[in-house]
């Protein structure tokens, strides 16, 4: 053990060697630990990818979200049942008098836990040279410590290339997969007087997951759709999930060797969605990299300049790869190929993305779960212990706790709502999300103008044009033009359930892990979508 000396605090630490840096120390060593001088008041759990929970909470392990069939698409499956408080790449504890102690990795494939009164960090990949196994240690006020960490990550991984974020209209939270050419044209016509920079087409345009060509609902093709958007004076945006494959896709049928397998030769699960089992592409396979590059160039040739790539965690799942390299390094290699094929002039948004491995390669990153037109699902929060599912509270909670990433990437909190129909959100809840978007400086919505009253359309315009003065007051408090905004009520996690709720949750989680249940829910969801188009 050696001693790290901060202004008013000494920390005993184990490491190979160290150097000092602005705001703290850089330690080197595959394994490192910091002995806490006091009992931790709270622990900062930092989730693996966009939708994974990030939160300050009691210094104890969090329950594994249910249903477990969805774990690969919501959390890092490698640590799903880890017995101690832990997090991807970094961990922090709150000490007496409000200071924090942070241990943060400066490279990929790394993890931190709180155990036996120590913050302990390790690198998963034993092939990494010990000199490359770097850690930042900072102690002091939270904002200052996280900013020092972000600055170091920027030097090693890079920053967003675009100077500012765009104002975006997205099709997902209005029509979901029920989009088609006539409905989108109607929506675009209604948005003529709103100052959007991008009109983004989301899920529902493609033949299927893995088959990224226009389906029968878009008979004019994707180039024609992009041309229609650009004719309005906006940039054309498009959603894809290029690292996923489903059994109904041509890739699954024709290129089984492109998929990620485990050591036993079985396909690695990437979760379950669209009524099908999800699988992952192996981003170290040369043919996969060629296919990804060709796909991105085709999307650009269609005329799309704003690219949202989703479910990207699939590229970093544990598995046996064509080239035996660490999983996050494999993902970053694939993302580098994608970025190069898109070109520097494309605006690149990552979603469902492993956080650190995406930094420097994207312009924006979703930093929380999807929003929804509800505040919170009692089923998901109370019965399933799942804070990653769509809902406004879940989105606000994790997004607020990831704003330390703002020096590195445009932080996407997801869309805001102005509509009063097709939602159970209160005006106060909608305003809270709008305030968060102003703080993030990333503004997006999915409301068609046809769904809004005149007052709501005026409020949308004011939101898109206003640039308030934002000041950080405390962990969950900001001022916008001197108006105090407090996000604290969104931060609490569900209390431990009673025995009855725990039993009911186990049954619900088991049912939710059955593919037949998920297929039924998917079918029910699709049957309810067509009525949305009738409201345009």
Mode of pairing for the β-strands spanning 244-245 and 276-280: antiparallel
What residues act catalytically?
310, 370
Domain boundary among 313, 331, 362: 362
Task: Check whether 478 has a pLDDT greater than 90.
Answer: yes
Domain that holds residue 236: 170-182+199-362
Residue 146 lies in a domain: yes
More confident residue, 1 or 491: 491
Q: What is the mean pLDDT of residues 338-365?
A: 98
Domain boundary among 362, 391, 419: 362
At residue 310, the pLDDT reads 98
Tell me which H or E stretch contains 511.
helix 499-512
Question: Domain total for the chain?
Answer: 2
At residue 422, the pLDDT reads 85
At residue 526, the pLDDT reads 82
Res. 536 pLDDT band, cuts 50 70 90: confident
Residue 484 lies in a domain: no
At residue 181, the pLDDT reads 97
* pLDDT, tens only, 443-474: 999 999 999 999 999 999 999 999 999 999 99
At residue 535, the pLDDT reads 77
CA distances from 409 to 277, 360, 438 (A): 32, 8, 15
Q: What is the mean pLDDT of residues 296-318?
A: 98
Pairwise CA distance, residues 26 & 282, whole Å: 33
Residue 483 lies in a domain: no
Q: What is the mean pLDDT of residues 175-188?
A: 96
More confident residue, 131 or 256: 256
At residue 499, the pLDDT reads 84
341: tokens are 């094929």
At residue 126, the pLDDT reads 84
Q: What is the mean pLDDT of residues 218-239?
A: 98
CA-angle at 471, arms to 468 and 473, nearest 5°: 140
Q: Are 86 and 132 in contact (CB under 8 A)?
A: no
Residue 117 lies in a domain: yes
Q: Could you write out the DSSP letters of every residue in 144-189? A: HHHHHHHHHHHHHH---SSSSPPEEEESHHHHGGG--HHHHHHHHH
Pairwise CA distance, residues 90 & 87, whole Å: 6
Residues 143 and 221 reside in one and the same domain: no
Residues 141 and 8 reside in one and the same domain: yes
Residues 175 and 296 reside in one and the same domain: yes
Res. 8 pLDDT band, cuts 50 70 90: confident
State the greatest distance between any 2 C-alpha atoms of the chain, in Å, as a whole number: 68
Residue 523 lies in a domain: no
b/e per residue 91-105 (b: at least 16 CB within 10 A): bbbbbeeebbbbbbb
Residue 191 lies in a domain: no
Res. 118 pLDDT band, cuts 50 70 90: very high
Residues 348 and 299 reside in one and the same domain: yes
Res. 293 pLDDT band, cuts 50 70 90: very high
Task: Share the mean pLDDT of the chain.
Answer: 96
Residues 114 and 224 reside in one and the same domain: no
At residue 524, the pLDDT reads 82
Residues 88 and 208 reside in one and the same domain: no
Task: Check whether 192 has a pLDDT greater than 90.
Answer: yes
b/e per residue 417-442 (b: at least 16 CB within 10 A): bbbeeebebeeebbebbbbbbbbbeb
Residue 500 lies in a domain: no
Residues 153 and 175 reside in one and the same domain: no
Residues 216 and 87 reside in one and the same domain: no
Res. 278 pLDDT band, cuts 50 70 90: very high
* pLDDT, tens only, 390-433: 999 999 999 999 999 999 999 999 999 999 988 999 999 999 99
Residues 139 and 237 reside in one and the same domain: no
Residues 177 and 145 reside in one and the same domain: no
- Record the pTM: 0.97
Other CB atoms within a 10 A radius of the CB of residue 467 amount to 9
Nearest Cα residue to 198 out of 239, 240, 237: 237
* pLDDT, tens only, 240-256: 999 999 999 999 999 99
Residues 353 and 244 reside in one and the same domain: yes
Which CATH number characterizes residue 334's domain? 3.20.20.70
Residue 465 lies in a domain: no
Task: Check whether 129 has a pLDDT greater than 90.
Answer: no
Residues 35 and 108 reside in one and the same domain: yes
Domain boundary among 332, 362, 392: 362
Determine what percent of the chain is predicted with pLDDT higher than 90: 91
């Amino acid at each position: 053990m050696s001693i790290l000396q901060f202004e008013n605090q000494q920390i005993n630490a184990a490491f190979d060697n160290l150097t000092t840096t602005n705001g703290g120390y850089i330690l080197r060593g595959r394994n490192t630990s910091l002995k806490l001088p006091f009992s931790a008041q709270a622990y900062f759990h930092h989730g693996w990818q966009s939708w994974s929970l990030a939160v300050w909470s009691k210094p104890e392990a969090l329950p594994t979200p249910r249903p477990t069939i969805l774990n690969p698409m919501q959390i890092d499956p490698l640590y799903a049942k880890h017995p101690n408080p832990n997090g991807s790449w970094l961990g922090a504890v709150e000490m007496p008098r409000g200071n924090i102690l942070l241990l943060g990795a400066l490279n990929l494939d790394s993890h931190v836990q709180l155990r036996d009164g120590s913050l302990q960090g390790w690198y998963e990949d034993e092939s990494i040279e010990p000199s490359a196994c770097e850690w930042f240690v900072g102690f002091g006020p939270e904002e200052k410590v996280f900013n020092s960490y972000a600055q170091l990550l920027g030097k090693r991984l890079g920053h967003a290339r675009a100077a500012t974020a765009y104002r975006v209209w997205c099709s997902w939270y209005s029509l979901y997969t029920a989009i088609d050419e006539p409905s989108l044209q109607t929506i675009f016509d209604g948005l003529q007087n709103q100052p959007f920079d991008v009109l983004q087409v989301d899920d529902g345009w493609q033949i299927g997951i893995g088959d990224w060509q226009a389906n029968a609902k878009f008979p004019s093709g994707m180039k024609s759709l992009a041309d229609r958007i650009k004719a309005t004076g906006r940039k054309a945006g498009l959603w894809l999930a290029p690292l996923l494959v489903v059994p109904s896709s041509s890739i699954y049928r024709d290129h089984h060797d492109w998929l990620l397998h485990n050591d036993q030769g079985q396909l690695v699960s990437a979760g379950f969605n669209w009524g099908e089992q999800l699988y992952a592409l192996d981003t170290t396979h040369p043919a996969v990299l060629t296919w990804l590059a060709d796909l991105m160039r085709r999307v650009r040739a269609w005329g799309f300049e704003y690219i949202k790539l989703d479910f990207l965690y699939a590229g970093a799942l544990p598995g046996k790869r064509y080239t035996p390299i660490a999983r996050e390094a494999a993902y970053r290699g694939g993302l580098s190929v994608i970025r190069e094929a898109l070109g520097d002039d494309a605006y690149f948004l990552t979603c469902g993305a492993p956080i650190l491995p995406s930094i420097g390669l994207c312009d924006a990153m979703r930093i929380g779960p999807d929003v929804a037109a509800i505040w919170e699902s009692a089923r998901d929060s109370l019965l399933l212990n799942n804070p990653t599912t769509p809902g406004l509270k879940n989105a606000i909670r994790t997004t607020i706790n990831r704003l330390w990433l703002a020096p590195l990437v445009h932080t996407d909190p997801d869309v805001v709502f102005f509509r009063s129909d097709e939602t159970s959100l209160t005006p106060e809840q909608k305003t809270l999300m709008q305030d968060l978007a102003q703080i993030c400086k990333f503004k997006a919505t999915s409301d068609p103008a046809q769904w809004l009253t005149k007052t709501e359309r005026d409020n949308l315009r004011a939101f898109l044009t206003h640039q308030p003065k934002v000041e950080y007051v405390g962990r969950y408090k900001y001022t916008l033009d001197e108006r105090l905004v407090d996000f604290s009520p969104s931060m609490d996690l569900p209390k431990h359930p009673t025995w009855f709720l725990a039993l009911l949750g186990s049954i619900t989680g088991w049912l939710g892990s059955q593919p037949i249940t998920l297929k039924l829910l998917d079918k029910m969801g699709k049957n309810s979508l067509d009525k949305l188009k009738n409201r345009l």
